[in-house]
Amino acid sequence: MKFNLYSCIKLHYSLSYLAFVEVFFIKGKISKKELIKEIGKSIKNEELAAFIGAGLSVDAGFLTWSDLLREPASEIRLDIEKEIDLVNVAQFYSNVKLRSSIDNLIKQNFSRLYKPTKCHKLLAQLPISTYWTTNYDKLIEKALENNNKVPFTKTKDEDLRAINRNFDAIVYKLHGDVDSPSDAVITRTDYEEFGYNKRKLFREVLEGDLLTRTFIFLGFSFSDPNFNYVIGRLRVLLGESKTRKHYCIMKKISMCDKDYEYKKIKQELQIEDLNRYGIFTYLVDDYNEITRILQIIVNNYRRKTIFISGSADDYGDFTNEQGKTFLHLLSKKLAEKDYHIVNGYGKGIGDLLLSGVSEYCLARNKKILDCLTIMPFPQSISKEMYQLYNKNRIQMIEKCGIAIFVFGNKKGKGAEGVMEEFNISKKMNLSILPISCTGSAAMKISNEILSARSIDKDNLKAIQIANRNVKNNVKQLVENIIKAIEFLNKEED
């Protein structure tokens, strides 16, 4: 038993060492930390695009390509387990049963109303304006709609001429859509006509995006001949050293897989080959890790946007001058640190946040809208209008990752709006920073959080950092809040 335990420990460290060595010696393979960092840069530069393959739709309930063609293959006396070239299987089936049989197959399998996966939902939360997919389903469109975004779907060259000014993201469907199965790319004939008789402009648009955007590839096997033609053409025209960097996530070959050693060698060769086209690969042990990585990327993005909630008929233990200086300085310092502020323009709060951001932007020749989003709420509204504004409040808060609560008082009554924003922030899983020394609703929120049975340890530490005793020293208070926010923005593993 001792020998077995020792052997297991030795094997664990040997595999860990080999994994460490692989990151540095397999050309084109990157670490998780580097992947998250590079994707974060692309988000900041507004250059990120997503390429979604069939692998991302499997968890939603859709069939893999081999499972889709299993029954058709059997009908023409083929064994799908023995077939490597599935494009040929689709072509053979179309030859025997006519194209309409393929169209019905697509319609029957991809018209099902499956819900978007967690990965689709996370992608929809990111500021991505361009999605490419080889999938016939509508999962990414549905995920965007559920996230209050308007998708503009393009499936063929004719759609490229369409004019639509009311959209948030374009979804290019490289192989067509379930609504037009006769135009879908699935057989050998379809692939041969792609870029020539059909979707010629589509191919050129993809080439342009690969030149100007940074792609993250998810659920994509890189076995598609049309896509491989595009990246090959770009490599020839530009040279390997001048191709743009892109990133993909793949599942590592498991030791339990049949022909493990052979498949592992082939995967490593594929990673090195993809690197010729500027594509860097991160390998995950299981598909759930893709979701965790996307969640980290979303968290990192959202935490750069700070929601500040509050209202103030008075500034409690602060003098008017101290209260105003605190709010002005806080917004100015957040803008200096490249955070984006969101605020509902609460009384005694909004104008001071605006003045702080304005001072920074005027000095740096920057646009105020790049640093501050304001959504004013009327002080007195009807019940119907309240529901509408509350919906807007939810949309405003859900884009943020951190919520700061300051003051929160009104003459003759409490600040219901501030407490409502606190409840929404909790539901949206924001990191919450109540500044208790400002009193009123902020103090109430602080007491509620600190007395809760469970609280995220990082959020708790951030609250402690932000609320270190400064005895109304507003400059030190602002410094503490900035330190707390930077702590929450530390790199996740």
pLDDT tens by residue, 353-394: 999 999 999 999 999 999 999 988 766 666 667 677 778 888
Give me the pLDDT at residue 387, please.
Answer: 73
CB 215 within 8 A of CB 187: no
Residues with catalytic function:
175
CB 325 within 8 A of CB 474: yes
More confident residue, 41 or 18: 41
What percent of the chain stands above pLDDT 90?
77
Task: Tell me phi and psi for residue 328, to 5 degrees.
Answer: -65, -45
Ranges of CATH 3.40.50.450 domains, the chain: 304-488
Give me the pLDDT at residue 8, please.
Answer: 45
- Angle, helix 139-146 to helix 118-125, in steps of 10 degrees: 60
Separation CA 344–CA 377 (nearest Å): 6
Query: Mean pLDDT throughout 259-280?
Result: 93
Out of 179-188, 267-276, 385-394, 406-415, pick the least confident.
385-394
Query: Mean pLDDT throughout 244-261?
Result: 92
Q: What is the 3-state secondary structure (H, E, C) of the chain?
A: CHHHHHHHHHHHHHHHHHHHHHHHHCCCECCHHHHHHHHHHHHHCCCEEEEECHHHCHHHCCCCHHHHCHHHHHHCCCCHHHCCCHHHHHHHHHHHHCHHHHHHHHHHHHCCCCCCCHHHHHHHHCCCCEEEECCCCCHHHHHHHHCCCCEEEECCHHHHHCCCCCCCEEEEECCCCCCCHHHCCCCHHHHHHECCCECHHHHHHHHHHHHHCEEEEECCCCCCHHHHHHHHHHHHHHCHHHCCCEEEEEECCCCCCCCHHHHHHHHHHHHHHHHHHCEEEEEECCCHHHHHHHHHHHHHHHCCEEEEEEEECCCCCCCHHHHHHHHHHHHHHHHHCCCEEEECCCCCCHHHHHHHHHHHHHHHCCCHHHCEEECCCCCCCCHHHHHHHHHHHHHHHCCCCEEEEEEEEECCEECHHHHHHHHHHHHCCCEEEECHHHCHHHHHHHHHHHCCCCCCHHHHHHHHHHCCCCCCCHHHHHHHHHHHHHHHCCCCC
- How would residue 222 be classed by pLDDT, with cut points 50, 70 and 90? very high
Give me the pLDDT at residue 17, please.
Answer: 47
Give me the pLDDT at residue 21, please.
Answer: 44
Give me the pLDDT at residue 11, please.
Answer: 45
Separation CA 142–CA 124 (nearest Å): 9
Q: What is the CA radius of gyration of the chain?
A: 27
Give me the pLDDT at residue 3, please.
Answer: 43
pLDDT in tens, 76-105: 999 999 999 999 999 999 999 999 999 999
Give me the pLDDT at residue 411, please.
Answer: 81
Mean pLDDT across the chain, nearest whole number? 91
Give the CATH fold of the 304-488 domain.
Answer: Rossmann fold (3.40.50)
- How would residue 43 be classed by pLDDT, with cut points 50, 70 and 90? very high
Give me the pLDDT at residue 24, please.
Answer: 47
Out of 23-27, 156-160, 336-340, 385-389, pick the least confident.
23-27
What percent of the chain stands above pLDDT 70?
92
Give me the pLDDT at residue 9, please.
Answer: 45
Give the CATH fold of the 25-62+112-300 domain.
Answer: Rossmann fold (3.40.50)
Separation CA 493–CA 481 (nearest Å): 24
23 pLDDT exceeds 60?
no
Query: Mean pLDDT throughout 126-152?
Result: 96
pTM score, whole prediction: 0.88
Separation CA 370–CA 76 (nearest Å): 60
Separation CA 31–CA 425 (nearest Å): 33
Task: Show the tokens assigned to 352.
Answer: 């001071």
- How would residue 10 be classed by pLDDT, with cut points 50, 70 and 90? very low
Query: Mean pLDDT throughout 433-444?
Result: 96
Nearest to 96 by CA among 66, 122, 75, 82: 75
Give me the pLDDT at residue 73, please.
Answer: 96
Ranges of CATH 3.40.50.1220 domains, the chain: 25-62+112-300
Taking residue 62's Cβ as centre, other Cβ atoms within 10 Å add up to: 20
* Rounded to 5°, angle at Cα 348 from 345 and 354: 50
pLDDT in tens, 385-424: 767 777 888 888 999 999 999 999 988 766 888 999 999 9
CA dihedral 107, 113, 118, 122 (to 10 degrees): 80
Find all residues with CB under 8 Å of 24, minimum gap 6, and list them: none
Out of 43-47, 316-320, 353-357, 383-387, pick the least confident.
383-387
More confident residue, 452 or 324: 324
